[in-house]
Amino acid sequence: MKSNVGGIDRILRIVVGLVLIGLTLMGTLPVWGWIGVVPLATGLIGWCPPYAIFGWNTCSMKK
């Protein structure tokens, strides 16, 4: 798997994932808040399946 999630995109995914999971654990959000696992995982591994399907890439170009 080639990385297709860039720096700022990765940071945002990790933050959003952690916030959703945290709010769910605190009881603020219902069970659907566990969807935060998805952006957290894609942010941590740096690869997003829909990005691969559509040919998107937010990684900076290396020369």
Give residue 53's pLDDT: 94
Query: How long, in residues, is the chain?
Result: 63
The pLDDT-based confidence of 63 (bands split at 50, 70, 90) is low
Q: How many other β-carbons are positioned within 10 Å of the β-carbon of residue 39?
A: 23
pTM passes above 0.85: yes
Q: What is the secondary structure of the chain as a DSSP string?
A: ------HHHHHHHHHHHHHHHHHHHHTSS-GGGGGGHHHHHHHHHT--HHHHHHT---SPPP-
Give residue 27's pLDDT: 97
Q: How many whole angstroms separate alpha carbon 45 and alpha carbon 5?
A: 9
Q: Is the pLDDT of residue 62 over 80?
A: no
Q: What angle do CA 36, 8, 37 make, to 5 degrees?
A: 10
- pLDDT above 90 coverage of the chain, percent: 89
Residue-wise pLDDT for 31-43, tens only, equals 999 999 999 999 9
